[in-house]
Amino acid sequence: DLVRAWQKLNTQHGVALNICVAAALRRGIIDETEAGRLALPSANLQPGFTLSGLGALAEASLTCDRVVQF
């Protein structure tokens, strides 16, 4: 299970699991904040993952030694 493998990487090594908010919304993936904003009954973003925008990507690019993006 790919999601569980990413969650394990996050738990064991502290790897941030940032998901592009625009791409997630296009695919119907939302967190609790977006669910509330859109008046939807629940969220479906898996634990350990975080919706983030371009600002987070820019900041990560400046402060870390590598960024994995796909």
pLDDT digits 0-9 by tens, 17-64: 999 999 999 999 999 999 999 999 999 999 999 999 999 888 888 988
pTM of the model: 0.81
17's tokens:
């699991």
One of 1.10.760.10, 3.90.1170.50, 3.40.50.2000, 3.40.1260.10 is the CATH number of 2-63, namely: 3.40.1260.10
For residue 66, the model assigns a pLDDT of 79
State the Cα–Cα distance between residues 50 and 34, nearest whole angstrom.
12
Where are the domains positioned within the chain?
Answer: 2-63
Q: Which residues are catalytic?
A: 20
Write out the chain in H/E/C secondary structure.
Answer: CHHHHHHHHHHHHCCCEEEEHHHHHHCCCCCHHHHHHCCCCCCCCCCCEEEECHHHHHHHHHHCCCCCCC
